[in-house]
Amino acid sequence: MRVILASPRGFCAGVNMAIEALELALARYGPPVYVYHEIVHNKWVVERFRRLGAIFVNHVHEVPEGSLLFYSAHGVSPEVRAQAAQRRLRTVDATCPLVTKVHREAVRFAREGYTIILIGHAGHDEVLGTMGEAPEAMVLVETEEDVDRLVLPDASRVAYLTQTTLSVDEATRIVDRLRQRFPDIVGPPRDDICYATQNRQAVVRELASQADAVLVIGSQNSSNSRRLAEIARSCGVPAWLIDDASQLAAEWFAQGQTVVVTAGASAPESLVAECVQWLKDRFGASVESAVVRTENVHFPLPRELRS
């Protein structure tokens, strides 16, 4: 067996920043530190922080008054911030700067009188936070069919934004359909889909032509991880999305195959190493790295933790 390790893979700058920030908050203030929703969408990362004393909550009212509340990388709505202030909570904001950019664009478009079409997945933490910036002005679409059903008050004042972790191909198709329906539609100055999401998708798309199978390490609730598996399958290659090596099955593979291994932007490299070792042990796999793009992005810690 030949294993090709896709690069870049795994943690992005936003995830690195959020994880480092929560580690520092636990060390500086001591447990418990309450975290609004999962810090990142990865089962292993969340469970590790639970053991260290983080308490993950879905509602601000679950946090005792005066406690420390940590905002995850996916961002929160203004309503959540207001609720935290009412409960006199100390807060640390680890929202990914690329998500913050989308929030600011939503506020600007709403202020200028646009109806905003948000392309994203219903119920995703990032979508909930973004829509909370301008709930009266924003409509969510998930598919091209959703675009066809839109009825808007003024077709000449329409803008669009996207969730940062979408499939680039999927988002492009929906934006194209929006432009067909609303020729005057405007978008953000730069693509909202984050650099790391685009890079990881480009790597899978390029390497799929060499692969008999693609293995994606990431959790099922990770949007960017799910997109990687979907892209591989769209290229005609069997693909599996798994949390860790315990979910691997020998019947997925055969001797002599080429297996591309990658990881979503919230998956730790240690889990990738375990899966590669599993393939070595069972199939005598040789391992090589394929660097398709390079990344050197770094985000600063939240201002609350910089001193």
Please spell the DSSP secondary structure of 227-289, one letter per residue: HHHHHHHHTT--EEEESSGGG--GGG--TT-EEEEEE-TTS-HHHHHHHHHHHHHHH--EEEE
Q: How confident is the model at residue 189 (pLDDT cuts 50, 70, 90)?
A: confident
Give dist(CA 140, CA 221) in Å, integer.
19
CB contact at 8 A, 119 and 157? no
**Omega prior to 268 cis, within 30 of 0:** no
Give the residue-averaged pLDDT of 74-83.
Answer: 97
Phi, psi of 56 (to 5 degrees): -90, 130
- Rounded to the nearest integer, the mean pLDDT of the chain is 96
Residue spans in the chain of domains classed CATH 3.40.50.11270:
13-95
Give the residue-averaged pLDDT of 109-129.
Answer: 97
The distance in angstroms from the start CA to the end CA of the chain is: 50
Pick the CATH number of 13-95 from 3.40.50.11270, 3.20.20.10, 3.40.440.10, 3.40.50.2300: 3.40.50.11270
Residue spans in the chain of domains classed CATH 3.40.1010.20:
2-11+195-291, 98-193
- Which helix (H) or strand (E) is 6 found in, with range? strand 2-7
**Residue 269 has what pLDDT?**
97
Q: Which residues belong to the active site?
A: 126
Helices (H), 53-134: 78-86, 97-111, 125-131
Q: How confident is the model at residue 191 (pLDDT cuts 50, 70, 90)?
A: confident
Q: What is the value of pTM for the model shown?
A: 0.92
Residue range 2-11+195-291 in CATH 3.40.1010.20? yes
Give dist(CA 187, CA 196) in Å, integer.
20
**Residue 127 has what pLDDT?**
97
115, pLDDT greater than 90: yes
Give the residue-averaged pLDDT of 75-79.
Answer: 97
| Chain segment 209-259, per-residue pLDDT in tens | 999 999 999 999 999 999 999 999 999 999 999 999 999 999 999 999 999
| Chain segment 152-166, per-residue pLDDT in tens | 999 999 999 999 999
**Residue 144 has what pLDDT?**
97
Burial class from Cβ neighbours inside 10 Å (0-12, 13-18, 19+) for residue 197 reads: buried
User: Considering only CA atoms, which of 173, 163, 167, 182 is closest in space to residue 143?
Assistant: 173
Q: Classify domain 98-193 by CATH architecture.
A: 3-Layer(aba) Sandwich (3.40)
Give dist(CA 263, CA 200) in Å, integer.
8
Give dist(CA 173, CA 194) in Å, integer.
17
**Residue 192 has what pLDDT?**
87
